[in-house]
């Protein structure tokens, strides 16, 4: 099933498969933006936006661009700067609540140990 995630104002629209798992990370950025990440291969995601609506932020080790809506400020997704890294994430908090409720949420310690904080590491 395909779901649509949108920023608050609707200027950015993301279409992807409904996630089965989500990751709640506590790194310095994710804990501040409240990201709840659904991971995908970039070719499996469609990001649509109006001209000038997408604004990127590159932090720390300069490996990811975190994207937000320039109009309403919602963080929508992140992409890898290295094009050979075939992973991206969509902020599931922008998906319908029933999609988030149906997914398993994993807690990830991105602030310290880079491990999952629950028992199952998958």
Read off the pLDDT of residues 109-118 as tens digits, 9 standing for 90 and up.
999 998 999 8
Read off the pLDDT of residues 56-77 as tens digits, 9 standing for 90 and up.
999 888 899 999 999 999 999 9
How many C-beta atoms lie closer than 10 Å to residue 90's C-beta? Answer: 26
- Indicate yes or no: pTM above 0.95: no
**81-86 — which CB contacts under 8 Å span 24+ positions?**
86/41, 86/42
Q: Does residue 119 carry a pLDDT above 80?
A: no
Q: Report the alpha-carbon distance of residue 109 to residue 10 in Å, rounded.
A: 31
The domain limits of the chain are: 2-116
CATH number of 2-116: 2.170.150.70
Read off the pLDDT of residues 23-34 as tens digits, 9 standing for 90 and up.
999 999 999 999
């Amino acid at each position: 099933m395909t779901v649509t995630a949108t920023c608050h104002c609707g200027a950015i629209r993301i279409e992807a498969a409904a996630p089965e798992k989500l990751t709640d990370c506590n790194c310095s950025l994710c804990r501040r933006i409240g990201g709840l990440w659904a991971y995908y291969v970039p070719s499996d995601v469609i990001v649509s936006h109006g001209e000038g609506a997408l604004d990127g932020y590159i932090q720390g080790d300069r490996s990811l661009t975190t994207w937000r809506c320039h109009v309403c400020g919602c963080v929508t997704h992140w992409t890898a700067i290295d094009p050979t890294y075939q992973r991206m994430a969509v902020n599931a908090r922008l998906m319908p609540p029933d999609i988030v409720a149906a997914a398993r949420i994993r807690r990830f310690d991105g602030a310290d140990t880079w491990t999952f904080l629950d028992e199952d590491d998958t």
